[in-house]
Amino acid sequence: MPKEKPHLNLVIIGHIDHGKSTLMGHVLVMTGAVSDREAREMEQTAAELKDESFKFAFFMDRLAEERKRGITIDLAFRKFETANKYFTIIDAPGHADFVKNMITGASQADAAVLVISGKVGEAEAGISDGGQTREHAFLAKTLGVKQLIVAVNKMDDKSVNWAENRYNDVKELAKGLLTMVGYDVNTIHFIPISGFQGENLINLSDKMPWYKGPYLIEALDNLSVPEKPTNKPLRIPVQDVYKIKGAGVVPVGRVETGVIKIKQNVVVMPAEFEGEVRSIEMHHEPREMAEPGDNIGFNIRNLDIKNVRRGDVVCDTKNRVPVINPTGWFKAQVIIVWHPTALAQGYTPVVHAHTAQVACKFTELMAKLDPRSGQVVENNPQFLKVGEAAIVKLAPITKLCLETYKDIPELGRFAVRDMARTVAVGVVLSLEVGGKEEEKPAATAAEKPAAAKPAGAKPAGAKPAGEKPAAEKAPAKKAAKKPAKK
């Protein structure tokens, strides 16, 4: 039974069109996670859309829009087993427009497969400054993905033709990037594969006799299972909320720390809605309890869709997650990954922490650090440039659930994004929640549009992706008020 095997969450990351969904679709077929009937149906769907090469990708890309455009937009969750483990695959989008979904996927993963196309020109594009291979590698490291496997895909392409020298070129490019990001490349397997033809996936390929390392499933089977922080307080960041007929409102998310059981009293923060857990499901199978690493859907008695949305955190009633108000702040250590000019005080980008996306203002640049030693090189700098590390203070525009990195690392890491690019990555050192009294009038004004979003998402099962627009609306409102004051 799968439950007896150790469970790992595996995120598939990399640049758009490097073959992530095709690779994992083929893995599902080869490991027997897909029935023959489903395989035939997907082949037929791909033929109807006049592109047979998508037949494996469609096991992961289930949205009509994804199939039509041939790209992944949302996260897809599927499970498969190896000899010693069972995995939940999280197929993340590679397209720059959907990096926010990739961040959610990476924040839920124990390990990652970074897919890099071996096709001439494609690997170089992904690793270049604006490439998603580079951005995904930075984000995976920041979001706590410690174990990584690199799959050099499309070895069957005419420009590659199973050649060892092209594999070595891509491997060196990837090593340079991953060393810069902070991974130990000596612990990473670089596996040449063909996701479409199924070479080097479940056994060594005779088309690449020069390769002596493990094949993909073997490398996955050898991943170590991280220790589960069951002794820490319960924290479940909400990824999506569904309204399901007969079951009511069902929040979905990954248990980061602690344990959740049926009949346990929990609280949804920041709404402070308390209720009893009525049911827990994982991969459509009922469970009595769930522990860290489990991707679950659960039902809380009398929970209304107005009281829960993406980015909220479900916790134990006796030990609640800190909620930073707009009058509060959090102090963080950050590294600037990209910015067209320089980053100064007052800058207000969107902070992605666990599943939350909230606009936050850089209220103070406290100190510039030496990135290697961590020593302070300048106090209160005027600005920060690419490659610099610093201690900064940020204030959220709307309420944000966060923990310090030393207490609960899973909720203490974040990425800063602006202009569809990752600007900085960082960890929370300390926080001050701020006074509720002062903040109440401002919060109600800022939160009204956000609350309206889930309510407006009328179709059953609709996802209230209201968090980011809500976050971005808030600063926009402030901007609108200023001219009136003048």
Domain ranges for the chain, please list them.
Answer: 2-221, 235-316, 323-436
More confident residue, 406 or 60: 406
Side-chain half-sphere CA neighbours of 164 within 13 A = 6
Pair of tokens at residue 181: 């990001």
* Range name among 68-72, 227-231, 262-266, 320-324 with the lowest pLDDT average: 68-72
Residue 442 has pLDDT above 60, yes or no: no
d(CA 11, CA 201): 17
- State whether CATH 3.90.700.10 applies to domain 235-316: no
Phi then psi for residue 232, to 5 deg, are -90, 165
Question: For residue 391, what are the β-bridge partners?
Answer: 333, 367
Residue 453: per-residue pLDDT: 37
Which H or E element spans position 83? none
Residue 182 has pLDDT above 50, yes or no: yes
Q: For the domain with range 323-436, which CATH number is right: 3.30.70.3400, 3.30.460.80, 2.40.30.10, 1.10.1200.10?
A: 2.40.30.10
Lowest mean pLDDT among 102-106, 117-121, 193-197, 221-225: 102-106
What SS3 class is residue 69? helix
Model confidence at 71, pLDDT cuts 50, 70, 90, reads very low
Distance between CA atoms of 174 and 152, rounded to whole angstroms? 9
User: According to the model, what pLDDT value does residue 455 have?
Assistant: 36
Residue (of 108, 136, 109, 140) closest to 355 by Cα position:
108
Residues 121-126, mean pLDDT to the nearest whole number: 91
**Per-residue pLDDT for 452 more than 50?**
no
Q: Name the E strands within 283-388.
A: 285-287, 289-290, 295-300, 313-316, 323-324, 329-336, 343-344, 350-353, 356-369, 376-379, 383-384
Report whether pLDDT(433) > 70. Answer: yes
Whether the pLDDT of residue 457 is over 70: the answer is no
Are β-strands 421-432 and 413-418 bridged in parallel, bridged antiparallel, or unpaired? Answer: antiparallel
Determine the pLDDT at residue 130.
76
Distance CA 309, CA 239 (A): 8
Percent of the chain with pLDDT over 90: 50
State the chain's maximal CA–CA distance in angstroms: 74
Q: How confident is the model at residue 460 (pLDDT cuts 50, 70, 90)?
A: very low
pLDDT category at 136 given cuts 50, 70, 90 is confident
Does residue 461 register a pLDDT over 50? no
Other Cβ atoms closer than 10 A to 70: 16
Higher pLDDT pick, 456 / 323: 323
SS3 assignment, position 86: strand
Its pTM surpasses 0.85 = no
What is the distance of C-alpha 289 from the center of its chain?
24
**Same fold across 235-316 and 323-436:** yes
CATH architecture of residue range(s) 2-221:
3-Layer(aba) Sandwich (3.40)
Lowest mean pLDDT among 20-24, 56-60, 68-72, 358-362: 68-72
Residue bearing the bigger pLDDT, 42 or 189: 189
| Other C-beta atoms lying within 10 Å of the C-beta of residue 256 | 23
Greatest mean pLDDT range, 25-34, 52-61, 71-80: 25-34
Residue 319 has pLDDT above 90, yes or no: yes
Which pLDDT score, from 0 to 100, does residue 246 have? 82
pLDDT-derived band of residue 58, with 50, 70 and 90 as boundaries? very low
pLDDT digits (tens, 9 = 90+) for 253-311: 999 999 999 999 999 999 999 999 999 998 888 999 999 989 899 999 999 999 999 99
Q: So what's the pLDDT on residue 468? A: 43
Which pLDDT belongs to residue 139? 77
Distant-in-sequence, close-in-space partners of 408: CB < 8 Å, separation ≥ 6: 229, 232, 233, 235, 256, 257
Give the residue, 134 or 265, on which the prediction is more confident: 265
Six token digits for residue 428? 């929370």
